[in-house]
Amino acid sequence: MDDRDEELMRLRAELASTMNRYAPTYGVFQTGIAPLYFIRSDTPTDVIHTVHKPGLCIVVQGRKQVQLWEECYVYDPLNYLVVSVTLPLAGQVTEASSEKPYFCIRLDIDPAEIAQLIADVSPVGVPSQQPHRGLYLDKIDSSLLDAMLRLVRLLDVPSDIPALAPLALREIFYRLLKGQQGQRLHEIAITDSQTHRVTRAIEWLNNNYAQPLHIDKLASYVNLSNSTLHHRFKAVTAMSPLQYQKQLRLQHARRLMISEGLDVSTAGFKVGYESPSQFSREYSRMFGAPPSRDIAKLRSLG
């Protein structure tokens, strides 16, 4: 083991110790620093579906895999995950125990802050004209982990947070932009780039997922041709706009049935399905069971 590995181990050990205090049980914990969350699990989990907003995920202990459409990404203490656009994902903790819990740091990313940082210091060159996935893995190094640790340490001195947290956050985002895959984060922050236009289409779908989707109107809204929107959208999300909308609809319907107690037909109608049979069929394909059976199982686990 060389000095770099020893330094990474030391940083992870301190982070794990701090997280154990602020995240003492299973769950997602919001911290005293607005965009910073701690996630803990003492056992491997079932697949959890979520709509993931832009963010950085650093695993301190354990291992997790996420699925984007048909693609699988595995991350652990050696690799961090960046989600640069809002994406429907399916995640599963695969390595965790009571002796060594799964600990993950999630830091929400505001694309406007990335754009401001690029304007101020221009840490990377001109973004590629080729679209990239809105999710990627990159190898972690001590510089990024040390910056994260300095941010986390501020939780123990709340009076320092207003003055020092913005500086630590700025350094973390700078480190991401300087990473091997940092140009992917750069792409979504450059106003009027084609990738940025795709993010506008993604935002529209997230705000209007229950409405009928007309590709020509969406393309016009983001100032792209139909074919360019379809090509760029799929390059960024791994899905067509219609497939993306379907994922959003089904996840929101599931949430409505669990949290608001809606019946199957009402939930399907609220998210845009006119046919209950089509809703049940597509729901079963995504979640592995018909809506009534799936919700009954989830409620029994809760």
Residue 110 · residue 35 · CB < 8 Å: yes
Predicted TM-score (pTM) of this structure:
0.92
Q: Average the pLDDT over each of 12-26, 55-69, 139-153, 169-183 and give the range with the smallest value.
A: 169-183
E strand map for the chain: 27-30, 36-41, 48-52, 55-61, 63-68, 71-75, 79-83, 87-95, 102-108, 135-139
Residue 244 · residue 233 · CB < 8 Å: yes
Q: What is the pLDDT of residue 131?
A: 67
- Provide the 8-state DSSP code for 206: H
Residue 77 · residue 47 · CB < 8 Å: no
Tens of pLDDT along 107-117? 999 988 888 89
Q: What is the CA radius of gyration of the chain?
A: 20
Structure tokens at 296: 């009954």
Q: What is the pLDDT of residue 2?
A: 77
Q: What is the pLDDT of residue 128?
A: 56
Q: What are residue 58's DSSP bridge partners? A: 105
Q: Is it the case that residue 126 has pLDDT exceeding 60?
A: no
* Ordered domains of the chain (ranges, CATH): 3-188 (2.60.120), 191-302 (1.10.10.60)
Q: What is the pLDDT of residue 129?
A: 55
In whole angstroms, what is the distance from residue 163 CA to residue 275 CA? 54
Q: Is it the case that residue 123 has pLDDT exceeding 60?
A: no
User: Strand, helix or coil at 101?
Assistant: coil
Res. 59 pLDDT band, cuts 50 70 90: very high
